[in-house]
Amino acid sequence: MALDSETSFQNFFQYATAGEFLSNFCIYNINAPGQEMDAAPLPDHYVYPTMDGLVQIVDNCVEQFKIREFIGLGVGVGANVMLRYALQNQSKMDALILINCVATSAGWVEWFYQQINIRSLRTRGMTNFSVDYLLWHHFGNHVTLNPPDTVRRYRAYLQHLPNPKNLSAFIEAYLNRTPISISRDGTMGPKLNVPVLQIVGGDSAFVKDSVELNARLNPADSEWLKLSGSGGLVLDDKPEGVAQAIILFLQGRGFVPTTNVQDMIRKISVQSTFDGGEEAMTVLENVNEMN
């Protein structure tokens, strides 16, 4: 939410993971309409896609690039979209990685704050209220406990975000989302037969939501990880923890069997020291199967 795919994923895939994923997968980033970097204003008459409409956009991308099977990675709103897509297209999914995923409809508190947020973005642009709400959304319940430089960087990014009206349409689509019907045994909704890794920051605003979803997944083929000392931006806060979890999860499904996890973590730690220190969707296609 308010972060394009480049802002969400580029640092993690190109730098934080020492290029490990780039050497093993072909990565496709998908932006929702009007949410890409330097996006033009959406036309006044434009009807923004619903969450199921965003699922169709993912499917269009999969068809366009003739992707037979892939690993889906989604953060926040993107995680919700990827989960919906997986339920409708289980034969196309090798695995699913969800970060800060919410599978329920909006509650009254979220509805109230987001209605104010949407109205403000449409009529007044990016206000302090909108910035503070989005910081809470990304950093979690303890924004002030995060590194001040990181918070300032994201605050400045949000304050200068172009086309807040585009963002308001995206938020409204997410606010009007329907609950995702899914159950562990298939009796109270469809059963998901795709391996799932859920990741959430310990201070994220969406820990309870991820636990609620985890209770509806097949325990034999799903994993849940809470990273302490992190809010919602786990790809930035804990790249080594996320990378290790993803690699081990994928190795358990037969991917990247030759990757030395400990060596990769060492490289990530060195890179993080050298450097001094995400709502989007991503498709990972195994380069060894792209024939």
Please state which CATH class domain 5-289 belongs to.
Answer: alpha beta
Model pLDDT, residue 281 = 62
Can you list the residues of the chain whose pLDDT is less than 70? 15-19, 268-291
In this prediction, residue 21 carries a pLDDT of 79
60 C-beta neighbours (distance < 10 Å), count: 11
E-only strand ranges, the chain: 25-30, 70-75, 93-99, 196-201, 222-227, 281-286
Residues 6+ apart with CB under 8 A from 128: none
List the Cα angle 159/161/163 in 5-degree steps: 130
72-128 pLDDT, tens per residue? 999 999 999 999 999 999 999 999 999 999 999 999 999 999 999 999 999 999 999
CA distances from 51 to 105, 151, 179, 186 (A): 11, 29, 10, 23
Q: Give the position of tokens 């899914």.
A: 182
Strands 281-286, 70-75: pairing kind? antiparallel
In terms of Cα–Cα distance, which of 43, 97, 74 is closest to 255? 97
What does the pLDDT read at residue 18? 57
Phi and psi at residue 70, in whole multiples of 5°?
-155, 170
Q: What is the Cα–Cα distance from 191 to 222, expressed in whole angstroms? A: 12
For residue 98, which of 118, 122, 116, 72 has the smallest C-alpha distance?
72
pLDDT of residue 274: 46
Distances (CA, A) of 185 to 182, 189, 208: 9, 8, 21
The answer to whether residues 169 and 42 touch, using CB atoms and an 8 Å cutoff, is yes
Strands 25-30 and 281-286: antiparallel
Residue 69: its pLDDT value, please?
95
Cross-strand bridge partners of residue 200: 226
Q: What pLDDT score does 67 carry?
A: 96
- Per-residue b/e over 175-191, b at no fewer than 16 CB within 10 Å? bebeebebebeeeeeeb
Report the chain's mean pLDDT, rounded to a whole number: 88
Distance CA 142, CA 54 (A): 31
Domain borders along the chain are 5-289
> Do 166 and 42 contact (CB within 8 A), yes or no?
yes
- Inter-residue contact 170 to 32 (CB < 8 Å): yes
In this structure, how many other beta carbons lie within 10 angstroms of the beta carbon of residue 108? Answer: 7
DSSP 225-260: EEETT--S-HHHH-HHHHHHHHHHHHHTTTSSTT--
Single-letter amino acid, residue 246: I
